[in-house]
Structure 1
């Protein structure tokens, strides 16, 4: 998501508190090995300096060879149909019924929130109206950002949501999406939180990609800070959300080879914020993840690669599985 517009103000400076410890719990066990592996990988020509091992080094944001926006139907680099085409019932872009629960996550509910909506730009009046997010208010939603070549963040988040959904369902979890390209706009940020609350989700994650300046690279996971006001009271979920976020961050490094953000989070890959309605109004453990910066050509080359998006989904899935299994 871009830091311009509602729910996307510039992140607060990383604050040291018991809730914003560096990667010390689950992440402490995950990140050192992952970052060492990433460093060795980068030193021999891989890593985030080119393609993270997922895209050929000639890939660029201006002409993403594997981007769903530019590929022919059925020709993405991992064999998955690009978002926006008409999938069959067996393809990841379809909406299959939830299979009978079996596996280690049977009985667990995960809510995936694909950030923004591809149709938001057609509904400025609706997405610009104010909604309460606790002690303050913000616009309902934004259009999100896009690569320099024009591939929208909203398409990216839906694609990753489908991949993550399939991986979690394979573990036996019941998975619900806040939207699946099945509505003309929205939902608003307050409704996104409410969907997770009403599902009594055991974990919830909101998927995004950033729209920061070129040269700003890497991912970061946004944790809810302590908010108590209006309809918001995050105090019961702050600790559990931090655990969820740390596990996701550590597994994301390991699965993708991507480094934590070099512009927020102080190198931890974790940022705490109190201005996001989707977190403020949540009553279940929830985090946001910014998977990379769509406005940086090197990050965009990763984000537009189907193979890399599958790795990203796997890293998130493994973090969520670890959190839910304790």
Structure 2
């Protein structure tokens, strides 16, 4: 996805809520943040505005950045995806997710560019109307976001299935285009998923680096009513952010989220129309050469999948 304008929540949570979230997240991932301290979620309401796919500005949540250990650095890459890395050991016991349902939503579709008329069709997301889908972004060398998200989704599915979860992908490269953003939300709802994660990579400017997790704002408009899922989605997002730092060594975004790796939005149909806990994760910025070198690395993508998996497992096990 790419950023073209301010659409993030700019409201500042009450001090008591911020203190509570600080304690909660610190308890969730003690020692796992490698000095970056993703320690609080942002407020409940989203900002206004419209962008091509993802548009944003920093939230008001705080962090306390410091340097990560050299051993956490991820491998560099070349112009093409490298060979797959070996899975990191999962900290949770096998079978711990038996009976749990997880929906993984690989952002965009490798074939979208061949179906511009179909993906440009507007769909209702409650607060407004948006395009059915987009083609996504790509690295300067041509490695696409759709390829990236599908690869990470398959790795993530394998990691969760090892824990006993029932896992469904919204698309597996087997559709002509899409699914549209409203259908992506509907799939998770119909599955009565215990957690849904939509995978993405950003298309921001050079020098903008790091990951961020997007949380649903409190929206009650038209077919959208996220009020019941705001709190559990925030918890899911915080756990994923903490484990993603630990597994990949990547820092939270330096251009949105004020260093927390957590951002709230009200303009995303996949979140607005969800009735189950759901977050998006932008794993890095494909248009920055340093982030791109990570995203094209099979070994790093395995770490990303492991980090997301550990966050989901932690959330589902409570």
Report 1:78-157 matches (<5 A).
Answer: 78=85, 103-157=95-149
The answer for unaligned runs of 5 or more in structure 2 is 37-64, 88-93
Alpha carbons of 1:40 and 1:246: their partners in 2 closer, same or farther (altered >3 Å)? same
Matched, 1:180 2:172: yes
Structure 1 counterpart SS, 2:314: helix
Aligned to 1:27: 25
Shift of 1:221: 0.2
Aligned to 2:75: 54
Matched, 1:2 2:2: yes
Shift of 1:12: 1.4
Matches of 2:249 and 2:86 in 1, distance apart?
21
Matches of 1:128 and 1:325 in 2, distance apart?
39
Matches of 1:13 and 1:199 in 2, distance apart?
29
Checking the alignment, whether the CA contact within 8 Å between 1:27 and 1:249 is kept in structure 2 is no
Checking the alignment, whether the CA contact within 8 Å between 1:35 and 1:259 is kept in structure 2 is no
Checking the alignment, whether the CA contact within 8 Å between 2:100 and 2:166 is kept in structure 1 is yes
Structure 1 counterpart SS, 2:171: coil
Aligned to 2:213: 221
Matches of 1:31 and 1:261 in 2, distance apart?
20
- The size of the alignment, in residue pairs, is 281
**Which whole-Å deviations, capped at 9, do the CAs of 1:91-141 have from their partners, x for residues lacking one?**
xxxxxxxxxxx8110000000000000110111110001100013111101
Q: What TM-score results when the alignment is normalised by the length of structure 2? A: 0.83
Shift of 1:13: 4.8
Matches of 2:309 and 2:32 in 1, distance apart?
19
Structure 2 counterpart SS, 1:112: strand
Checking the alignment, whether the CA contact within 8 Å between 1:231 and 1:281 is kept in structure 2 is yes
Shift of 1:35: 2.7
Matches of 2:190 and 2:164 in 1, distance apart?
20
Q: What TM-score results when the alignment is normalised by the length of structure 1? A: 0.81
Structure 1 counterpart SS, 2:263: strand
Structure 2 counterpart SS, 1:237: helix
Aligned to 2:11: 15
Matches of 1:308 and 1:217 in 2, distance apart?
15
Structure 2 counterpart SS, 1:117: coil
**Which whole-Å deviations, capped at 9, do the CAs of 1:49-84 have from their partners, x for residues lacking one?**
xxx2323xxx4xxx43xx33xx6xxxx15279xxxx
Checking the alignment, whether the CA contact within 8 Å between 2:271 and 2:279 is kept in structure 1 is yes
Report 1:232-251 matches (<5 A).
Answer: 232-251=224-243
Structure 1 runs (4+) deviating above 4 angstroms are 18-23, 37-42
Aligned to 1:88: none
Structure 2 counterpart SS, 1:164: helix
**Which whole-Å deviations, capped at 9, do the CAs of 1:226-266 have from their partners, x for residues lacking one?**
00011000000000000000000000001100000000001
Aligned to 1:92: none
Structure 1 counterpart SS, 2:228: coil
